[in-house]
Amino acid sequence: MNRTLDLGNAKNVHFIGIGGISMSGLAEITLRHGYRVSGSDNSDTAVAHLRQAGIEVMIPNAADNIKDDHDLVVYTAAIKPDNPEYMRAQALGIPMMERPLLLKAITRAYERTLCVAGSHGKTTTSALLASVVLEAGLDPTVHIGGRSIGDINNRIGDSSYFVLEACEYRNSFLHWHPFVGTILNVDADHNDFYNGMDGLIDSFVRFARTIHPDGALVIHSEAQGLDKVIAGLDCRVIEYGMDKIQRRSGGMFFSPANIFYDTGGRASFDVMKDAEKLTRVDMPLVGAHNILNALACFGVAEVLGIPAEATKRGLEKSQGMKRRYEAKGNFNDVPIIDDYAHHPTEVRACLAAARKSHSGRIICVFQPHLYSRTRDLLEDFANSFTDADKILLLPIYAAREAHDPNISSRMLGERMSELSKDVECFENFNTIEHWLRKNLTDGDLLITMGAGNVHLAGECLL
């Protein structure tokens, strides 16, 4: 690989928290670009492949992991100023760079960066797009913030193409200046940073303006704030959606026709470019939302000149992402599905997909993610479990937030009960496991749902 990164005079790069899904991929890409790479983490569970690649990994985080010959330290927003390695690097005067800025340096080395943004679905759609670009023989580098079943979430290619999941949180995606930018949706979230929808929409407006003038924006026709996002853009605009009536830009439009669902909830559909049928796709992933994700890929493929049949093959070969409607196994003939859904829109989409394939009782174990999200979207959460017959709530997974005594899963459960939902609250995994072992029966479907460690509630049964 002859591409060079603009990391100043750095030659020896250290990653704090290298075991994270994004940081580990960036470490491998940095190594491939010719840098000496090391890192540290507090867990030894996700670093074996890094050591195999030749990266020195130290467990746990400790001040003496930072050496005098380190000339750049990379960290994420999760690393606080009291982290021992952070403090040691500062004390030694070693240049430091947050993860989005390293990604900025990496994207500058690729002329065809393809960014997939949106409040929901960007991990799955990035994996679908990577499969399409691979099928087209374009040998992309790929960086996705999730673990794919087909092991393409972090891939190093030798071409000018870079498929990148573009997260909006803290305006990270404003650094990357894509050739093609995709916006799947714009939905209320991250109020702790954006202070409401106006701030969030403004961020997507700014993202669209970072797209190269010779490139394109591919956008869902029902994305909130679409008119503001596309106003005055220099680049081409391509829309997609279920209903062509929603077309707003006047440009090319991709839509589905003759949709059919199999018994597993997977859709087959004709792909229409305006009034022209391009091909028919048999999606390997369940749910109507994956029709939209596939159409977004067709929009990007149009810009890149990828033939429709190659796009079809790439989509049909995709194996999906772990924790995205992932079949985990069976407990006494009860299928167990695990899904990352942690926003009301995602909850609805996941449960709707389950209902298309399952006529029996759907049991949903839900672990809310973040106090702020649960508080701000409580009413929407309470109304999002229409397709679940029984909801089991675990305590809120705090992640990066401090405990907030003013919001809890029990409060969410109380509101659900007021809406006549069958809901129970549990204090820990042991009590919920006991309930599941006692109450799951033949004909049930169990879904564990949330962005924390809720998958353990299903895995303990297996």
Asked if residues 75 and 86 have their Cβ atoms less than 8 Å apart, the reply is: yes
- Rounded to a whole number, what is the distance in angstroms from the first to the last CA of the chain? 44
* C-alpha triplet 418, 423, 425: angle, nearest 5°: 110
| Unique residue bearing structure tokens 């690649």 | 53
How would DSSP label each residue in 385-446? -TT-SEEEEPPPB-TTSPP-TT--HHHHHHHHHHTT--EEE-SSHHHHHHHHHHH--TT-EE
Residue identified by tokens 């867990």 is 43
| Angle in degrees, 0-180, between the axes of helices 21-32 and 99-107, rounded to the nearest 10 | 40
Catalytic residue among 28, 135, 165, 168: 165
Instruction: Yes or no: say if 290 and 267 are a contact pair by the CB < 8 Å rule.
Output: yes
Query: How far is 194 from 169, CA to CA, in rounded Å?
Result: 9
**Measuring CA to CA, how many Å separate 13 from each of 46, 75, 142?**
19, 11, 20
Buried b (16+ CB within 10 A) or exposed e, 137-148: ebebbbbbbbbb
Torsions phi, psi for 287 (to 5 deg):
100, 150
Query: Is 122 tagged catalytic?
Result: yes
Annotated active-site residue in 30, 113, 122, 302: 122
Let me know if 328 is a catalytic residue. Answer: no
For residue 275, CA distances in Å to 130, 140, 253, 254, 278 come to 27, 31, 9, 9, 9
CA dist 33 to 2, 30, 159, 182, Å? 8, 5, 13, 27
Q: Enumerate the β-bridge partners of residue 331.
A: 334
Q: Is 302 a catalytic residue?
A: no
Residue from 30, 107, 113, 123 carrying the catalytic annotation? 123
> 268 vs 56, 129, 264, 393, CA distance in Å?
46, 18, 12, 34
Task: Give the other-Cβ count within 10 Å of 238's Cβ.
Answer: 23
Q: Going by C-beta distance under 8 Å and a sequence separation of 6 or more, which residues neighbour residue 20? A: 41, 46, 76, 78
Contact at 8 Å (CB) between 143 and 25?
A: yes
Strand 334-339, strand 445-449: pairing: parallel
Question: How far is Cα of residue 264 from the mean position of the Cα atoms in its chain?
Answer: 23
83 neighbors 65 (Cβ within 8 angstroms): no
Query: What positions carry a catalytic annotation?
Result: 122-123, 165
